[in-house]
Chains A and B, each alone.
Chain A
């Protein structure tokens, strides 16, 4: 998208572009300066983590004004969900934050379960916690690798993806799919945790702390890394709250808001873990918060794995989860349930719920309205990246162009989630 149409003399396309494409920009104090330049960063810029477009007004190397422009990845997931049964909408949630599909599945499943008023068995609960925390580590690894790559630390990227692959192998073991698993579903899990799951997770738990130390060795005390991140793109606690930031962006600014502690869901109140918080609210603090969060996720996985009970992994209600295949071919009632579930789905009672969960990016909220039919009347996703992005202009105004890359990396946005 360009702000001007055609050659010189072209007309700006809309009100917003008019405000942005004139060659003088208005600084905050209201004076007019004519020595600034407005440029596009993105939407195809490699460090914008997808298709984020930033309209930057520059005074030399310094950013006077920044405005994010989003929507390039808008796929209308909320609208699509209105036309599908609850069961089918699940796969849409995988594709929002595509770096953490299991956390999206979990948020969606909890919302539908709350609408239905059901509770899943313990094994599903523990399995969900293990998977969600592994997914958090996997998501943080992509963030670490790519944001370090943006700032020139190329080797970190390779190491991070090596470890992420181990986690994706575990997901593949469970669901047959590496990324878009849809493994956590309303009513429990798609299938029982497989044989070898526990061993695979324990192997990862034994391996990962040493790898995490390697990352710390590479970056945490690295002079180049500190120069690029410390004191850069500050965000005060008050601003972070004001702009609706959550996750590591808010915690990096020193506010200890973690949904897992504040409003425990899925049995998180049973596990011991800490919330790392930063103090300065700079890129380095957000980096440290996520690094320490990986430690805490490991602790949770360890505890959940030790407490993992046997038994059922789905609710015992054939109206919500399909009966096993062998029963469908031998039992009339199961066949009917199977048919009804896949052709029509279940009908939650009239009502509305808002379920918040802590995704790797921050507070992921699902607002679901049921009109008593088999399709969600409305599904709204409160995407953490969407809200976190609002703080970006405040962070980078007054900074250098090179710091924009650091800032975008540090808020860890996923455009699939921002645009939905």
Chain B
């Protein structure tokens, strides 16, 4: 059962591992180049994995093309995620891992969007066409990217935060998101407080009770229910 060709001990110099390319990787790149032409911006290989960089506006089209291409049939979307390169132009990589359960082909598609962190208006989110129309599996994945990176997916049926509370400010997986010292809304309501409307009486107010049981008059929360700094529109002003 054990393969005789292989060494049984790792002592000494380990054999250099080879990472074979997927047999259908070349065909995939050919199909994309033929059908999309200039929209294929770059093709890279690393450790046997093929990455195709595409023009953002053509991604949904490319996915549909690969799903239906004869001999490839990428019928399974394994994953959608993003990577933030804050100083680069364009700033974000949105990464798609495609898989074919019929032909065992795998490929990674990538689109690059967004202005660098110190340029442009930070409140404007970069936008990529949604691939939920091609694979409904993209629903949760794209919501996660929207939530944690602040990238919009045009055409997504329900683009809301999925992991963070609905009233969260900022996008945690961006590289410029502080990993400590965030001013939470005070008190933090975990998604129960409306953004704009005045609060119903009693909500958001704190009642202080002293040790002898007597109550202090209610204290209104500082700077509105969501905290002064967030309300001023700058999520990082506390830093």
Contact = CB atoms under 8 A, between A and B. Distances in A.
B172 A5 contact: no
Contact of B173 (A78, A114, A242): A78
A352 B83 CA distance: 11
A71 B162 contact: yes
B78 A363 contact: yes
Contacts of A255: 101
Contact of B193 (A13, A121, A387): A13
Contact of A390 (B136, B163, B166, B203): B136
Given A241-B75, A242-B137, A353-B46, A14 B10 contact: no
A216 interface: no
Interface in B171-225: 172-173, 177, 179, 190-195, 197, 199-200, 202-203
Contacts of B76: 241, 244, 257
B108 interface: yes
Contacts of A382: 78-79, 81, 97
Contact of B202 (A6, A14, A310): A6
A306 B1 CA distance: 9
A388 B75 CA distance: 16
Interface in A107-128: 114-115, 117-124
A214 B167 CA distance: 50
Contacts, number: 176
B46 A121 contact: no
Interface residues of B, number: 66
Interface string A324-364: 00000000000000000000000000011110100000010
Contacts of A207: none
Contacts of B203: 5-6
A13 to B, nearest CB: 5
Contacts of A164: none
Range of interface residues on chain A?
A: 35 or more
Contact of B104 (A9, A10, A262, A315): A262
Interface stretch (B14-22, B58-66, B118-126): B14-22
A121 B9 contact: yes
Q: Interface residues of B: mostly helix, strand, loop or mixed?
A: loop
Nearest to B175: A82
B187 to A, nearest CB: 14
Contacts of B75: 241
B108 to A, nearest CB: 6
A122 B10 contact: yes
A309 interface: yes
B1 A312 contact: no
B139 A14 contact: no
Interface centre among A244, A272, A356, A378 (most CB of B within 10 A): A244
Contacts of B164: 71, 74
A315 B16 CA distance: 12
Contacts of A390: 136-137, 139-140
Interface in A376-420: 377-378, 380, 382, 386-387, 389-390, 419-420
Nearest to A308: B2
A390 B137 CA distance: 7
Nearest to B166: A14
B236 interface: no
A11 interface: yes
A161 B78 CA distance: 33
Given A70-B163, A354-B108, A380-B81, A117 B16 contact: yes
Nearest to B19: A114
B207 to A, nearest CB: 15
Given A6-B200, A79-B173, A119-B15, 11 more contacts: A1-B191, A11-B194, A11-B200, A71-B164, A114-B47, A270-B1, A314-B10, A316-B11, A356-B78, A377-B83, A390-B139
Closest 7 A/B residue pairs (Cβ): A121-B10, A244-B137, A311-B9, A119-B17, A382-B79, A14-B166, A71-B163
Interface of B: 1-3, 6-17, 19, 46-47, 49, 51, 75-79, 81, 83-84, 95, 97, 101, 104, 106, 108, 135-137, 139-141, 144, 148, 158, 160-167, 172-173, 177, 179, 190-195, 197, 199-200, 202-203
Interface of A: 1-2, 5-7, 9-17, 70-71, 74, 76, 78-79, 83, 114-115, 117-124, 188, 241-244, 255, 257, 262-263, 270-272, 303, 306-307, 309-312, 314-317, 351-354, 356, 363, 365, 367, 369, 377-378, 380, 382, 386-387, 389-390, 419-420
